[in-house]
Structure 1
Amino acid sequence: MRLDHVSYAVGRNSFVDTVQRLGSALGAAFMDGGVHPRFGTRNFVLPLAGGTYVEVVTTLDHPAADRAPFGRAVAKRAEEGGGWLGWVVSVDDIGPVETRLGRPAAEGHRVRPDGFDLRWKQLGLLELMEDPQLPYFLQWLVEPAEIPSAQPRTTTRITGLTIAGDSKVISDFLGEPADHPLDQTDVTWADDEEPGLVAVAFETARGPVTVE
């Protein structure tokens, strides 16, 4: 199973500063990703080498932010001081995940500043809100050339995730072996932290960088 992206959630007041800080640390500027009208959120994204990207996301002053699971998850993380919201795995067909979790995926979209309507299906936000160590699943509904990671803006790549939690729980949730839950991305388990994505390791042109 492949890592699609990692999400960093912050409050509206610190959104711009966080985008600039992370861009400086990773050696490239983020790009405006647009608004998620169904979720009441907006993001900036940084496409990386290796087929992944980083998302910095915040809520909008919009009723959807209080209703949609993603909007609520972003708001909750921001209220806790901000930081890594979670990690997202990409699947070619979300149908088997729907069967396993017993409910349909939600459709999402955001209109990029260039006018393109980026669409996908996602599933697992409710589990993430209950157990922050878990990822959620995403199936893109656009051509591969249009997904955010298709055109990297930097040679920086994600090399590993540090996750606080139970490797067996995550393994069962993903249906992947606990010692190798992701292709091309190392996972380190931290037992002495609150459950969730604790840190992301990057390889940049200036050397290794870890963002906690």
Structure 2
Amino acid sequence: MEIDHLAVAGETLEAALAHVEAALGVTLAEGGRHARFGTWNRLLSLGEAEYLEAIAVDPEAAPPGVPRWFGLDALTGGPRLQAWIVRVADLDAAVAALPEAGRAVPLERGDLRWRMAVPEAGALPWDGVFPALIEWEGTAHPAPRLPDAACRLESLEVRYPAAEALAARLGPHLSDPRVRFVAGTPGLAAEIATPAGTRRLA
């Protein structure tokens, strides 16, 4: 498993956008809509293979009839770094090893095709700090299509009261020295290099 992208969620897309742009001092590019879950997003390159999305419920979309991913249905309060998404080569094998990740759901946006493990309840386990698993189909990926904003992920802090247990659960599958598991109230925080220096996004 390797980091694919980060998701900053807000009660509105405008709120999520403002949160990212205030924290990092950059402007996000156009994204799109996800018909399956009734959401929409804007995107920021974090390099050739990684990116960040600001995401929220799409007010023009019909109710999806199932809980939305990333726990967006229950999101309240200010916008925040809500999820980290890791890329896997074989989603079925990854879900077999980590069944709490959810079930594989086929998704698409434009010419992009992917499958993601989404829990039945929508929200990710381990109080929302467990990574979402994604498998891209074909070679199309959002990151190389985005303008280079000179932003790069330097580190990701995953906070959880039983941080050692979470690290042990993911350890056999995840090898990225940028990910740090820290004991504390559940949450995520990223250190991102920007043209104005390293900024913290939480």
- State the TM-score bracket (shorter-chain normalisation): 0.7 to 0.9
Query: Could you say what the CA RMSD is over the residues aligned between the two structures, in angstroms?
Result: 2.4
1:190 aligns with 2:182: yes
Structure 1 runs (4+) greater than 4 angstroms displaced: none
Structure whose residues are more often helix by fraction: 1
TM-score by length of 2: 0.83
Secondary structure of residue in 1 paired with 2:124:
helix
Alignment-mate amino acid for residue 154 of structure 2: T
Residue in structure 2 matched with residue 33 of structure 1 by the alignment: 31
Question: CA distance change for structure 1 residues 51 and 171 in 2, over 3 Å: closer, same or farther?
Answer: farther
1:8 Cα deviation after fit: 0.6
Query: For structure 2, which runs of at least 5 residues remain unmatched after alignment?
Result: none
CA distance in structure 2 between the aligned counterparts of 1:163 and 1:172, rounded to whole angstroms: 13
* Aligned partner of 1:83 among 66, 72, 80: 80
Distance 1:155 1:173 in 2: 30
The TM-score with structure 1 as length reference comes to 0.79
Amino acid at match of 1:83: R
**Cα offset, 1:97, TM superposition:** 1.5
Counterpart of 2:72? 74
Alignment partner of 1:107 is 2:73: no
- The Cα shift of 1:27 comes to 4.5
Partner letter of residue 84 of structure 1?
A: L
The corresponding residue for 1:113 is none
User: How many positions carry a matched residue from both structures?
Assistant: 193
Shift of 1:3: 0.4
Determine whether 1:131 maps to 2:123. Answer: no
Describe the superposition over 1:114-147 as per-residue Cα deviations: whole angstroms up to 9, x where unpaired.
xx3321101154571563121110001131xx31
- What is the identity percentage for the equivalent residue pairs of Structure 1 and Structure 2? 24
Residue 169 of structure 2 is aligned with which of 163, 172, 180?
Answer: 172
1:7 is displaced (CA, Å) by 0.5
Question: Quick one: which amino acid aligns to residue 7 of structure 1?
Answer: A
